[in-house]
Amino acid sequence: MKANFKYNLAWLGVMVLGFVIIDACEFLGIINTFIENMLVTMGINIILATGLNLIIGFSGQFSLGHAGFMAIGAYATGIITQNIATPLGFYLSMGVGIIIAMIAALIVGIPTLRLRGDYLAIATMGAAEIIRILINNFKITNGAAGLFNIPPLVTWVTVYVLMCLTTIITVNFIHSRNGRAIMSVREDEIAAEAMGINTTRWKLAAFVFGAGTAAIGGSLHAAYIQTIAPGDFNIMASIAILIIVVLGGVGSITGTFVAAMVLGALDTILQNFGTLRMIIYALALILIMIFKPAGLLGNWEFSFKRLSRRLRKESAIHE
Amino acid sequence: MLEVKDLVVNYGAIQAIKKVNFTINTGEIVTLIGANGAGKSTILKTISGIMRPVSGQVIYLDQPIQTKAVPKIVRAGISQVPEGRHIFPGLSVQENLQMGAFLRKDHQNINQTYADVYQYFPVLKQRRHQDAATLSGGEQQMLAMGRALMAKPKLMLLDEPSMGLAPIFINEIFDIIQAINAAGTTVLLIEQNANKALAIADRGYVLASGEVKLSGTGQELLANQAVQRAYLGG
C-alpha cells in the first residue's frame, strides 16, 4: 500500500495535468462543443471499457453483456434526476444505478460464471437482452420511447473526474491481493483452487465490479446526452465496448485508454465522409487486427514503477 | 498426522479408489507408487479437498477433513504441488510465490518464507521478475514447489514432481524434497518413478487399480520381488 502510494501520486499528477491542459484549451476556445462532445464520449467509453477489460482481460471471463449494466445506470439516473434535478440527485442516482447493476451482476453471474468462453459470452448476452427487454416494457422507463429531457447535470469535468476515479480504483484493485487472486484464476483455475482460492467467488467479484463501473458510464451517458432509449443498449453497444478492449489489448488498461481515444477521434474525423464512414471505420478495425492481432498495446502496461526501476538501474550503471 | 480410512472415491461412474487405508506420521516422507490410472492422483485430490469421497474418512490432526472446503484445508496446513506443475504462466515468479501465501494471515513472517524458498531454489530469486512462462520445465517444477512452501505447510502433497524432467533436475528435486522434509515438513510423494521415490521415502504404499496392494518401508519395497517386477523393471 505504501509503495503504491507514490505511484498513485504520480498518476494523480498526470491526471491534474491533463485536466489543466483540457481546461486551458477550453478557455482559449480550441475546444468547441463538437470536440467537447468527442472528449466526453471518449471518457465515458474509457470508464465502460476499463470495467469490461477487468472482466475479460484480468479475470478471463468473456462477457458480451456490458451494455445491459450500462443501461441500468443510465435509467437509474434518467428516472431519479427527472425527479431530483440537482447534482446531489445525480450522484444519488449513480449510487442507486451501481447498486442495482451489481445486484443484477450477482444474479446473472452466479449461474453463468460456471460456463466458459463462448457459452459465457452467449449467456451474458442473453442477460443483457433480458435487461433491455424489461426496460422496454416497464412503465417507469417509458417503454420503447425512452426517457428525454433528462436534466443536464454533467459537464466534461464530471466525466473527467469520474474517469480518473474509476481508473485509479480499478488499477489499484488489479494490483491488490484481490486482483492477483482474479488473475491467478485466469492463468490456471486448477492451480488457483489448489492454493485455496475460491475461483467462483473471485470470478464473480470481477464481474460485479465491472458491472458497477458500467453503471457509472451509463449514468454519465444519460445525464450528458439527456436522452436514452432501450435501443441504445443493445448488443451492438456491448460489442462497441468490446471492440475498444480488444483493439487496445486485452489485459492492458493503457491500451484501453489509447483505443478509446483513437476510435473516438477516428469516429469524429470520419463524420465528414457520410455513409462511407462505417466502411472506413470497419476497415480500420480489420487492418489493426491483421497487423496487431494482440491489440494496439498487447498486454503492455505503462507503469511508473517499472520506469523508476529502469531509471534507477541506468543511473547505477552510469555511476 | 494424516490417516486415510476406508476411502472410496468415484471418478464419474468409475470407482477409482476402493477402500484405501494408509497413514502418514509427522515428519515422514511417505510415497504412493503405482502405474498410470492406479488412483494416486485421485487420492491426493481427495486429501486436498478438490474431490469428494463417496465414503470413508480423511483424518488430519485428529479432525475429519473430507467434507471441508479447499481453503480451510490449505489454511490447516496441507498444501499441494499439482501434477503437471500448473504454475501461473502470465504472472511473474514472485507473484506466483505470492499466490502460495494467499491465505496466510501472518503477513509479517512472509518475507522470511520468501527467503527460505529462495534458499532452496536460488534460481527463482534470480528470475523473480520474469514471467513464469519463461522458465524451463525443471524451474517451473521448482516454482510449483516453492509456491506450495509459501503456505508454510505442515504436510506437503507432491504429485509426480519428476514428470517430464531431465535426470539432472530429477536428482536436484529429490534432494530438495529431502531437505524440505528435514526442515520439518511432512511429505506425501506420489510418483511413477518408483526407484527414486522409494529411495528417499520412510515408508511406501503400492497402489494398483484403486487398492493398496503392498506397504512397507522404502527399503523393504525396493527389495521386494513383486515390486521390482512390476515397477522397477527388475
Q: pLDDT band at B85, cuts 50/70/90?
A: confident
Residue B87 sits at the chain A interface (C-beta within 8 Å): yes
Residue A317 has what pLDDT?
65
> Which residue of B88, B89, B103 is in closest CB contact with A196?
B103
Q: Grid coordinates standing for A251?
A: 489485459
- Compute the C-alpha angle B205/B207/B213, nearest 5°: 80
Residue A319 has what pLDDT?
58
Residue B211 has what pLDDT?
86
Residue A225 has what pLDDT?
93
Other beta carbons within 10 angstroms of residue A58's beta carbon come to: 24
Segment A155-193, tens digit of pLDDT: 999 999 999 999 999 999 998 889 999 999 999 988 998
> Which residue of A186, A187, A197 is in closest CB contact with B102?
A197
Average pLDDT over residues B200-204: 92
In the β-sheet with B29-34, what is the strand arrangement from edge to edge? B78-81, B155-159, B186-191, B29-34, B203-208, B211-217
Given a cut of 50, is residue A316 above it in pLDDT? Answer: yes
Q: Please provide the DSSP assignment of A157-178 as one string.
A: HHHHHHHHHHHHHHHHHHTSHH
B68, B86, B92, best to mutate vs chain A, most A CBs in 10 Å: B86
Segment B62-73, tens digit of pLDDT: 999 989 999 999
The answer to whether the Cβ–Cβ distance between A195 and B103 falls below 8 Å is yes
Segment B1-17, tens digit of pLDDT: 999 989 999 888 888 88
- Helix A87-112 to helix A66-83 angle (10° resolution) is 150
Residue B133 sits at the chain A interface (C-beta within 8 Å): no
Residue A213 has what pLDDT?
96
Q: Using CA atoms, how far apart are residues A184 and A167, in angstroms rounded to an integer? A: 21
Segment A26-75, tens digit of pLDDT: 888 888 888 899 999 999 999 999 999 999 999 999 899 999 999 999 99
- Angstroms from A176 CA to nearest CA on chain B: 11
Q: Grid coordinates standing for B152?
A: 508454510
> Which residue of A183, A191, A198 is in closest CB contact with B86?
A191
The answer to whether the Cβ–Cβ distance between A195 and B102 falls below 8 Å is yes
Residue B229 sits at the chain A interface (C-beta within 8 Å): no
- Angstroms from A47 CA to nearest CA on chain B: 25
Residue B76 sits at the chain A interface (C-beta within 8 Å): no
Other beta carbons within 10 angstroms of residue A25's beta carbon come to: 14
> Which residue of A177, A190, A198 is in closest CB contact with B86?
A190
Q: pLDDT band at A1, cuts 50/70/90?
A: very low
Average pLDDT over residues A208-219: 96
Segment B93-150, tens digit of pLDDT: 999 999 999 998 888 889 899 999 999 999 999 998 999 999 998 899 999 999 999 9
b/e for A262-282, b at 16 or more Cβ within 10 A?
A: bbbeebbebeeeeeeeeeebe
- Angstroms from B48 CA to nearest CA on chain A: 8
Given a cut of 50, is residue A150 above it in pLDDT? Answer: yes
Residue B214 has what pLDDT?
87
Q: Grid coordinates standing for B49?
A: 479437498
Radius of gyration for the alpha carbons in chain A, expressed in angstroms and rounded: 20
Percentage of chain A exceeding pLDDT 70? 98
Residue A71 has what pLDDT?
96
> Which residue of A184, A190, A198 is in closest CB contact with B91?
A184
> Which residue of A188, A196, A198 is in closest CB contact with B86?
A188
Segment B36-68, tens digit of pLDDT: 778 888 899 999 998 899 999 999 999 999 899
**CA-closest candidate to residue A6, choices A309, A313, A316, A315:** A309
Segment A275-290, tens digit of pLDDT: 887 788 788 888 888 8
Residue A147 DSSP class:
B
The answer to whether the Cβ–Cβ distance between B75 and A198 falls below 8 Å is no
Which chain A residues have a beta carbon less than 8 Å from that of B87?
188, 191
Residue B74 sits at the chain A interface (C-beta within 8 Å): yes
Residue A186 sits at the chain B interface (C-beta within 8 Å): yes
Q: Please provide the DSSP assignment of B128-181 as one string.
A: TTSBGGGS-HHHHHHHHHHHHHTT--SEEEEE-TTTT--HHHHHHHHHHHHHHH
B46, B51, B88, best to mutate vs chain A, most A CBs in 10 Å: B88
The answer to whether the Cβ–Cβ distance between A194 and B70 falls below 8 Å is yes
Given a cut of 60, is residue A200 above it in pLDDT? Answer: yes
Percentage of chain B exceeding pLDDT 70? 98
Residue B29 sits at the chain A interface (C-beta within 8 Å): no
Residue B39 sits at the chain A interface (C-beta within 8 Å): no
Given a cut of 50, is residue A241 above it in pLDDT? Answer: yes
End-to-end CA distance of chain B: 34
Q: Please provide the DSSP assignment of B113-128 as one string.
A: HHHHHHHH-HHHHHTT
Average pLDDT, chain A: 89
Q: pLDDT band at B219, cuts 50/70/90?
A: confident
Which chain A residues have a beta carbon less than 8 Å from that of B75?
196
> Which residue of A180, A186, A299 is in closest CB contact with B99?
A180
Give B2-84+153-231's CATH code, choosing from 3.40.50.300, 3.40.50.620, 1.20.58.220, 3.90.1150.10.
3.40.50.300
Cβ within 8 Å of residue B65, ≥6 positions away = B47, B49, B58, B59, B72, B73, B76, B78
pTM of the predicted model, to two decimals?
0.86
Given a cut of 80, is residue B177 above it in pLDDT? Answer: yes
Average pLDDT, chain B: 89
Average pLDDT over residues B75-101: 91
